[in-house]
Structures are given as structure tokens and as C-alpha cells.
Amino acid sequence: MAEKYTEEDEALSLEEFEDEEDDKLQDWDDWEDEEEDGSDSNFVCLFCDSRYSSSDALFDHCNSSHRFDFLHIKRSLGLDFYGCFKLINYVRSQVSQNRCWSCGLTFQSNQDLQNHLHETESLKDIQSHWDSDVYLKPLLQDDSLLYSFGDDEEAEDDYATAVEKEELMNDFRKFENISINNDIHGENFAVNFHSCDGNASKDVTTASIEFFNTGSSSGNITVNGMISSERGGLSEKMTNDKQLRTYIPKLVAKDIKIVNEDYFGSYSSFGIHREMISDKVRMDAYRNAILKNPSLLKSAVVMDVGCGTGVLSLFAAQAGASRVIAVEASEKMAAVATQIAKDNGLLRKKDPKNGTRHSNEVVEVVQSMVEDLDKCIHIQPHSVDILLSEWMGYCLLYESMLSSVLFARDQWLKPGGAILPDTATIFAAGFGKGCTSLPFWENVYGLDMSCVGKELVEDAAKIPIVDVVDDHDLVTRAAVLQTFDLMTMTQDEMDFTATVGLEPNLFSTAGNSNDLVSKTTWCYGVVLWFETSFTSRFCKEMPTILSTSPSNPKTHWSQTILTFQEPIAIASEKLSADRSAAVGTDACPASRIHLRISIARASQHRSIDISLETTGVGPDGRKHSWPVQLFNLR
């Protein structure tokens, strides 16, 4: 039976409703108070741990302390909401890896990075660095700055801005299965898909996870001591896989184009070319090889792949080449190289007056990628006498420009023609404590801050570091990791796996040469460097070697440092060891370190992946292996 609803009941209900609403309002006030209390530190600096109550205050700090003028960059480049969003995530991703957002240099600590930060000379040259959909994925969870960077300016069309933000949030849903792992690679897709159609899939299948075979049946991947697991059930996974199979090939193809534009655009900066031209080791090697081997260059047809300013092409012209085809993909630098050749009276004129051409006017600059050269200029196949290029990157193979040199070789080099340089070798050696930041932090004005140094060393085990190494900090003898003969190698040989043994370099003489005293030291990781040679095969008058070894004067390539997850004690075989202790410890130092290193072109175009497998071998033959480490050099 229904109960009778009286006026008293209505009044009581109204009173209870008002009390309930008062309670809700009180709760809302409390929530707002809490939000206001936390608002003072909502905005985290892009470069340090400072926090600010508004985006205006944060950007003022970034400008004054870190030379990052966000508003100037936004206005100069005309960045829209998406562009600003990507820029902020890009800068955060670079800083998380101690890498300069504008020039790309990597440092051992955030403090070193902050000391390095500088203003950017040409913003347009580096804009392509962050023009990738990868940076639509927020790097920090609940990053307030991403939704407040436009608050300082008047919005002429608030509705359009709101629509943009809503569309952006919808786009994020497509990225749910794309993980940006800054502890390992900075920006690296961790996606699960079965197959991709189209040419772009070829680049996807070179990803480090596939090349190094680190997958597991559990769906978890262990890399550098960290575990990444798949989320969601089977139904969700199948839906996401279907979306990703459609999305990823398009993204990869777009990414290759962006990276190419980024790569060639970065070489439009005069600062980079000044650094390379100022590298005396580099310049002396090429100049000697070209100018001091007259029998090689006399009347030769030369192709310079990636000519930059054209300095090597001009050397070839001075050495007596009859024709120099200088190929440069950067539109800006091709124009600069043309002007420099003209200013030095070496530019080949298209329509010489009176039908005559001076013998030294032999350089013609072609703006093109070498792979597209036949679309820009007609060159007979196999008609080039000498292929000239300075193609080397960090760790030799970074930037993957070697593939362009091999392409040019197969297309245009004459049978029996020459390549300068014609061989390349990668070396490896173990480094000690002096190559880390530990010594600095162990004594800071008499204070022990070694806990900071230890944390930095742990972080360094996750990313490769490009820096100058002192040869006194090497604790093993150098060993050859891999050798390339540019005359015969194939494109596939750029991806390789090699093993090498590192022997301690720990002996000191006491008394006489037969009385060797051994000591234990700690190996903290591996240093990689390279040499390229202009051998007597072609440079008969003066063979030349360009070496980036720690024992030689430093170059702009520096060396590439791969830090172990934990240091390994090493000593000579003459040292007695505790057979019950693990190999590589202080009680049982390793007498030899075996390395298995794989280097492969990464899924991100022009970057490389490095796999490091380390095994310590004791004096009694016992072994101890450490988990595989993956590094991405980009």
C-alpha cells in the first residue's frame, strides 16, 4: 500500500535536501581549497626541478635561467596549439636523457646539461626535431603546462581552440599502446602488432626488440633491468592491434621523411660546419689524402657524397680533378657550397662565355639526396673514378649515411675506382672509475656526495653517452670489434654482431721485467671508437689514417660510452682468487671480459641500436654473465 505524502513530509524532505546541498557545497569548498593549496607548484620546469604557480612564471624562469624563450619560439615559428604541445614534450624528452634540445649533445648529468644550454641561432633549422606525432604523447602524467601555455595570450577564436584541444585528446586515444620509455630510449615505440603492409614495414622490422630477440612468451620484455608489460585483455588487444596495423605503417613512413628533413636540416646550421671544419684531425686526414696523392686525383672524375660547405670538393679540384660532382641534400648548404666554389674560382659554369671553360672550373653542386641524383643530373653509370665522402657518425654508424655511399658506389663508381676512405674499423676497450662522475662526487669541498655519483652511473647504464675519454682511464687493452671494406661490403653488413675479449692492462714493473706486480681494478663499461683509413690500395704516395682513439687528439666525434649495470673487478691471471666467490667481484676478479656486441640500424630512421652482452671469465675458467643491455643512439 502506498504511503500518504504529507506537507510535513515535503517540508522535512526540503530541509534535508538543503542540508545535503550545504554539505556538498562545503565539500566543494574544501576541494577548491585543496586545489588552491596545491596550485603553487603545479607547473614543473622543463629543465630542472623548480615549480611555479603559473605558466608565465615558469617560462620567465626558463628564459632567464635556461636560455629557453618559449614565447619567442612560438611567435617566431608561428606554432599552433599542436606545435606548442609537441615542443614541450620534445624538450622534456631530451632533458630526461641529459640531451640538449637544440644541438643534440648528450651529457653525463643534468647539471652538465644546464651549464651547456644556449640560445638557438636558427630555429627553423631545428623545428623538424619535434614535428612528429610521437610528441603528442605527454611525457609527464598530468602535465599542467600542456594545457596552460596559451593562457598568456588573447584567444581570437576560443571555440576553435577548444575544438583543437578536444581533437587532440581524441588523438591521444590512438596512442594508448605507444609507450615512450625515457629510461631506455627516449622515444621508442613499444607496440604489439602482427604484420604491416607496405614498404614502411621494412623499417619497423628492424626495431631493436626484434633484431636482438628480447621478447618473452609472458608478454613482458626485460631491458636494462626494467620490465614493460602489455595491458588489457584479449578483446582489447585485438581491437588495438587492428587500429595499430593501420596506423603504424603510415606513422613510420611519415617518421622517415621527418627524420630525413630533420637530419639534412640540422646540417643547415653553420655552427655544425664550423665544428667539423675546426676538427684538425678530420681536416688533416682528408686534406693529406686528397692533396698528397696526385697520381690518384689527376684528371679524375670525383663524386663527393654529402659535400656540406664543399671543402672536400674544393680540395679535389685543387688536386687536379677534371670534374667534381658535389652532392648535398640540404637546400641551404647546396646554395652555400655553390657560392663558396664560385668565390674561389672553382665553380663549373653552365654556359661559359665564348664556349671556353677554365681548367680549374670543375666543381658542380647538385642539391639532392644521392639516392635521387639521377632525377637531377645525368651521369653515366659507372663513370666516376673516385667516390669521396665524410660519412662517419658517432660510433661510426650513427646517421646511417654509409648506406648512401654504398648506393653511390654501386651506381656510379667505375670498376677499379677508388673510395676515400676505403676501410673503417670499430675498436672497444674497458674504462675505469676515472671515466665516470664518481671521483667528482666523492669529494665535494671535503664532503662525501658519492650517493649522487652512484645514481648517475646507474642512469648512464641506460643510455649511450658521447664524450671525450682520457686514455689513462682505460683499464683494458683495445681490441678490434669490426672492420669494414667499403669496396666490397654490402648494405646488410652495416648490421652486425661481433665478439671481442678485453684483457686487463694492469701490470706495473717492480724490480725487473720478470717481476710483475698485478692489482685489481674495476671496469665500469666499454668505450667504442673508430678509425677510417685511406690505404695504400689507392693512396700510394701518402696513406692516411683518421683515428678517434682516446690516445689521439680529440675529434668532434669524441667516443661512445656504454656503462655496465655494475662494475666488474678485473686483474691479471697471476692474482690468486677465491673460488667460492662470483667472478667479477673483488674476491674473484675476472682475468678477461668477453663482450658480444650487436649494432643495427634502429626502427627510428638514421639512429642505431646497440646490444651489449657481458661475461666475466675468472682465472680458473669459471664464468659469470650479466643481463643484456640495450642502448639507442639517436
pLDDT tens, 430-439? 999 999 999 9
C-alpha cell at 97: 636523457
Place of cell 672524375: 301
- Mean pLDDT, range 343-361, rounded to an integer: 75
- Give 250's pLDDT tier (boundaries 50, 70, 90): very low
pLDDT tens-digit readout, 303-321: 999 999 999 999 999 999 9
Res 192: pLDDT: 33
How far apart are the C-alpha atoms of 330 and 333, rounded to whole Å? Answer: 5
Contact between 572 and 518 under an 8 Å Cβ cutoff? The reply is: yes
3-state secondary structure 18-85: HHHHHHHHHHHHHHHHHHHHHHHHCEECCCCCCEECCHHHHHHHHHHHHCCCHHHHHHHHCCCHHHHH
Element (H or E) spanning 488, and its range? Answer: none
- Give 141's pLDDT tier (boundaries 50, 70, 90): confident
Res 37: pLDDT: 45
Most confident of 11-15, 181-185, 423-427: 423-427
- Mean pLDDT, range 561-569, rounded to an integer: 96
Res 353: pLDDT: 60
Which candidate, 573, 444, 451, places its Cα nearest to that of 518?
573
Tell me the sheet residues that pair with 99.
106
- Spell out the residues 6+ positions from residue 306 whose beta carbon is closer than 8 angstroms to its own: 327, 328, 329, 370, 389, 390, 391, 401, 404
Per the annotation, the verdict on 458 as an active-site residue is: no
CB atoms within 10 A of CB 169: 9
Res 83: pLDDT: 85
- Give 486's pLDDT tier (boundaries 50, 70, 90): very high
Res 574: pLDDT: 63
Res 147: pLDDT: 74
What is the greatest pairwise CA distance in the chain? 117
pTM above 0.85, yes or no: no
CB atoms within 10 A of CB 632: 22
- Active-site choice (328, 364, 399, 531): 399
Among 213-217, 258-262, 309-313, 434-438, name the one with the lowest average pLDDT.
Answer: 213-217
Res 185: pLDDT: 38
Does residue 158 register a pLDDT over 60? Answer: no
Does residue 617 register a pLDDT over 60? Answer: yes
- Give 518's pLDDT tier (boundaries 50, 70, 90): low
3-state secondary structure 505-550: CCCEEECEEEEEECCCEEEEEEEEEEEEEECCCCCCCCCEEEECCC
Element (H or E) spanning 413, and its range? Answer: strand 413-420
Type of residue found at 473: D
Res 370: pLDDT: 94
CB atoms within 10 A of CB 13: 11
How far apart are the C-alpha atoms of 573 and 565, rounded to whole Å? Answer: 24
Tell me the sheet residues that pair with 484.
424
pLDDT: is 37 or 390 the higher one?
390
- Spell out the residues 6+ positions from residue 549 whose beta carbon is closer than 8 angstroms to its own: 427, 471, 478, 529, 531
Place of cell 550545504: 22
How far apart are the C-alpha atoms of 392 and 373, rounded to whole Å? Answer: 21
How far apart are the C-alpha atoms of 395 and 531, rounded to whole Å? Answer: 10
Res 470: pLDDT: 94
- Active-site choice (187, 328, 364, 390): 390
Type of residue found at 354: N
The proportion of the chain whose per-residue pLDDT surpasses 70, expressed as a percent, equals 70
Per the annotation, the verdict on 361 as an active-site residue is: no
Res 41: pLDDT: 67
- Give 519's pLDDT tier (boundaries 50, 70, 90): confident
pLDDT tens-digit readout, 88-138: 999 999 999 998 988 888 888 888 888 888 888 778 878 888 888 788 888
Mean pLDDT for the chain overall = 78
What are the CB-based long-range contacts (under 8 Å, 24+) for 129-132?
129/90, 129/101, 129/262, 129/266, 130/86, 130/87, 130/89, 130/90, 130/91, 131/83, 131/86, 131/258, 131/262, 132/86, 132/254, 132/255, 132/258
